[in-house]
Amino acid sequence: MKRLLNDGYDAVEELLDGYVKAHGDVVKLADNERVVVRTTLSPQPKVGIIFGGGSGHEPLFLGYVGEGVADAAVIGNVNTSPDPIACYDAVTAVDQGKGCLYLYGNYQGDVLNFDMGAEMAADDGITVETVLITDDVYSAKDRADRRGVAGDVIVLMAACAVANTGADLATVKAAAEKANDNTYSMGVALSSSTLPVTGKPIFDIGPDDMEVGMGIHGEPGIERKKLEPADAVMDEILGIVLPDMNLQSGERVAVMINGLGGLPLMDQYICYRRVHDVLTEKGVTIAKSMVGNYATSMDMIGMGVTLVRLDDELEGWLNAPFDAPYLKQG
């Protein structure tokens, strides 16, 4: 696989430099240059929403900082947690006196470092709460042990919609928890991603193989087998996700087809077509659709399906106005 880089060791700094130069009307780097913040915070004090994790998943994290969306994103090295100082510095950069909420996927390094950031903020008298995102169905049987994948974006949308109403920290946290509890994801990888420093893939996979259930960092999936047609792959994913969420006829859902970086939009819409038809046949209404690259793994060829069980409240949050470089609606 080929990449257009300079020195791989400089890739994250050059990414951030290029990003804020391209979107300087919306975002800037904080004093800590691993923290991307809004150029202007909300004129009305609100709970600060801080999103974060390793780089390599763009537009995830930095692409969702903007008006009505995240106030800051904390960026680590490729597939690596942000350091605790950056997590803390994000709080001091965006706190408006109503506390802050950390949102990030459930990975051990992230938990440790964001927790240390919250402890440092507490020493300054700033309250920070956390919601771990745990949408990856295959990664663990128990919801609390699951890792976060594209559901990160769903949880962010819900939390931001409520924060923008001026709600207090407990209410915003409850909204994020509700979104997380109703979000279910599973993916398939057809290739590895390529590490900037080494120029080599994270793992080896045959040209005619796929791995169902693989995580966005290359975590092992259910099984590796020969590549199948799109409809068969979607049927396999839905055959696991639908029983896990116990989705019933008459319910409403949001559907996200998330590309992992190297899968063409053509393929993504072919996958969406099958998901739509299966859900419709089961009597499930699709109230919101999202197709595109929301949480990637650099150049990995692959995709994921995310389903969100909706009620009127959650549907309203997901349709709120957002204006970030990679999340615009309303």
What is the domain-level CATH number for residue 310? 3.30.1180.20
CA gap 64, 7 in Å, rounded:
26
* Catalytic choice (23, 34, 46, 57): 57
What are the pLDDT digits (tens) for 72-107? 999 999 999 999 999 999 999 999 999 999 999 999
Which structural domain, as residue segments, surrounds residue 231?
Answer: 183-318
Same domain, residue pair 170 and 271: no
* 276 catalytically annotated: no
With left for phi above 0 and alpha for psi between -120 and 50, is residue 161 left, alpha or beta? alpha
Confirm whether 325 is domain-assigned: no
User: Average pLDDT of 160-165?
Assistant: 98
pLDDT of 329: 97
pLDDT surpasses 90 at 269: yes
Show contacts of 244-250: CB within 8 Å, 24+ apart.
244/137, 244/184, 245/184, 245/307, 245/309, 247/282, 247/284, 247/307, 247/309, 248/284, 249/282, 249/283, 249/284, 250/283, 250/284, 250/285
Domain end residue (candidates: 160, 182, 204): 182
Predicted confidence band of residue 292 (pLDDT cuts 50, 70, 90):
very high
Return the percentage of the chain with pLDDT > 90, whole number: 93
Query: Rounded to whole angstroms, how far apart are CA atoms 295 and 257?
Result: 10
Q: Alpha-carbon distance 223 to 91, whole Å?
A: 41
Q: Is 57 a catalytic residue?
A: yes
Q: Is residue 290 part of a domain?
A: yes
User: What domain count does the chain have?
Assistant: 2
Q: How confident is the model at residue 219 (pLDDT cuts 50, 70, 90)?
A: confident
Q: pLDDT category, 328, cuts 50, 70, 90?
A: very high
Asked whether the beta carbons of 179 and 308 are under 8 A apart, the reply is yes
Phi and psi, residue 309, nearest 5°: -70, 125
260 vs 304: CA distance, rounded Å: 8
Residue for token digits 């809004």? 38
Which of 34, 146, 217, 309 does the annotation list as catalytic?
217
- Predicted confidence at residue 214, as pLDDT, reads 84
Do 200 and 70 have their domain in common?
no
**In Å, what is the CA distance from 50 to each residue of 118, 221, 234?**
11, 29, 33
Q: Say yes or no: 294 and 252 in one domain.
A: yes
Predicted confidence (pLDDT) at residue 1 exceeds the cutoff of 80: no
Number of C-beta neighbours around residue 205 at 10 A: 18
pLDDT at 220: 74
277 pLDDT tier (thresholds 50, 70, 90): very high
